[in-house]
Structure 1
């Protein structure tokens, strides 16, 4: 995993007003914690941090006010506009093992039926500077009834699974027949009609 270098500035102003001022300057308030140290309050450039966070479990090399390696552990975004409001970073060291969630992606096409993916990420333990970007499952040619559990995933060397190995990641299920689809539609219509009929009966 490559490192993303971002310049960090010390932050000594706190509260909502100070945070708004920081964001107006296109920066993001950040807290760096971990290893039993006191939390350190920093400010990072917003655009650079936003680009870095597009990579899951990105390793950030902070330079400037601090010279540390960190992983994002908490990201707060504006619910409407989506800009970064606040980020928590976890201090890590080279050689240290960390537990993170990595995405599960799918490659290929099933032979028949419908692919039902139950799990989009799994928890793994990996060396802080060698966290895999994700794990891929090849479903090419899978037929109805085939399934993949977490323990079946092929993780990179040096990475161990934390998620229960028996957890279902994905399986192939039979496509509904035309009759079954019509039956479900009829049930839905009946369910929608029931409240209206009950209201009419009560009114009489």
Structure 2
């Protein structure tokens, strides 16, 4: 079954209206802010980095940061953008079983394990974005929900597919995954097995 148009291509993570192309100081400030944010997040983790820290490291005022990115979460989204688009490209256009060409259940199982790995390696940024109600249900989140729903439908799953897709997506929530691995001692393989068990049950296998 062909995937719906919402899953037809990787999507960017919108922050604010970009307005006209940046020039001169504005473009340089944006680059300095992103460079400083990446460096500080790599050094400390996103949860330990404040907008004051980023603005100071970039040599700009906080007002400049907020004018360009809208919010702290908006800045975190931009940091995620390149990796998120590469991940989306792999699941929509890459080789099977993650990409097209494999049976829908095989793709669903491959997706769950691949997304768990992505969430684990990007936990701090995903968790930070997820705390902001304006960015939690952003375009990539919608795409992932749609992708799961389409695979469930292609696997002839019955019932409320939106609810089932939301339930599977909840097992990939950054804070949930981090809690399971850091507090309960579960591995990504354990969580992948749990994802597979739920997915198979929903698909009737």
TM-score (norm 2): 0.26
Specify the structure having the higher radius of gyration (Cα): 1
Which structure features the higher share of helix residues?
2
Which structure features the higher share of strand residues?
1
